[in-house]
Amino acid sequence: MSDKGSIDIDYVANLARIELTDEERERFSSQLGGILEYFDQLNQVDVSGVEPMAHAFQVENVLRDDAAVEGFDPETAVKHAAAKRNNMVQVPKVVEG
């Protein structure tokens, strides 16, 4: 792209690996220009003192303590399985051998 005021829409289309008709070039050039003008407006906002963030809200993992607990007995573990054999869940074969 040459200067800040003009957009080389063919260059952008090549980067995106898309082919554009003449009508699409005209329309997208105008739309992209509007988007870039909006970014110029955003760049004028004073953000000094604003801490960078990845999300609008504080994101924290909610984890419980990793502690050993009593597990299920084999009968309870397979109680609701559709098919079971020798206290194990039986599933359909997925690998051809």
Does the pTM exceed 0.75?
A: no
48-69 residue pLDDT tens: 998 888 888 888 888 888 899 9
What residue ranges define each of the domains in the chain, with the CATH number in brackets? 9-43 (1.10.20)
CA–chain centroid gap for 18, Å, is 22
pLDDT of 4? 53
Burial of 9 (0-12, 13-18, 19+ CB in 10 A): buried
86 Cβ contact partners less than 8 Å away, ≥ 6 residues apart: none
pLDDT > 80? residue 3:
no
The residue-averaged pLDDT of 28-53 equals 91
